[in-house]
Chain A
């Protein structure tokens, strides 16, 4: 069965530190890849997405992610985090051309940024 693994459950950083959150998925076909973010007390919202083309995609608030097909990975990065980036981050995968509804989420990584 298709699955998404996020290796870090909780990451604690100081402001201005660099961030990388890992995401690996298990599916050999073409995929659409997403990172969603949930700020405290708010709903899930899209951070960035990859469908095709340049494997380095840029999202909102200075986030970017790189799709490495050979590693089945879609890691999220930010060069310098801010206190306002404190949130939970979810990686998600959908089979291209597959089930329309079934977006598979990872368990999430909680990011705490110390001021």
Chain B
């Protein structure tokens, strides 16, 4: 399978604990995105990388959240001191810059998500 891979698929944790999610994008894609989806809502943008550079962060990304993409390949999303309100599906997506009109096609390829449950 050469799609976007995320793990773990499901994480249950106690409030106050730290959690980390990993995303492996499609190999030739240089852009990587993190979204959050809660029940009854569409995905909400958190942050995005072009190669290793984090170019944009949403105001939804509080100080407890940090994302990295150290070598421009896989990415991690860490949530420190989790709260019950952090319970959600965390989606990763990737895209390339080749093809389509500038600035990129805008088509995102999503992973299956990592579901976080904070007790």
Contact = CB atoms under 8 A, between A and B. Distances in A.
Interface string B32-56: 0100000011111101101000011
Nearest to B50: A100
Contact of A105 (B43, B58, B104, B111): B43
Interface stretch (A13-21, A44-52, A60-68, A72-80): A44-52
Interface string A77-95: 0000000000000101010
Contacts of A94: 106
B6 to A, nearest CB: 9
B12 interface: no
Given A43-B111, A90-B43, A103 B103 contact: no
A43 B101 CA distance: 25
Contacts of B48: 100-102
B24 to A, nearest CB: 14
A52 B101 contact: yes
B110 A43 contact: yes
B108 interface: yes
Contacts of B40: 107-108
Given A106-B42, A108-B42, A49 B107 contact: yes
13 contacts: A34-B107, A43-B110, A44-B43, A44-B110, A51-B100, A100-B31, A100-B48, A100-B56, A101-B55, A103-B43, A105-B42, A107-B41, A108-B41
Interface of A: 4, 32, 34, 36, 42-46, 49, 51-52, 90, 92, 94, 97, 99-108
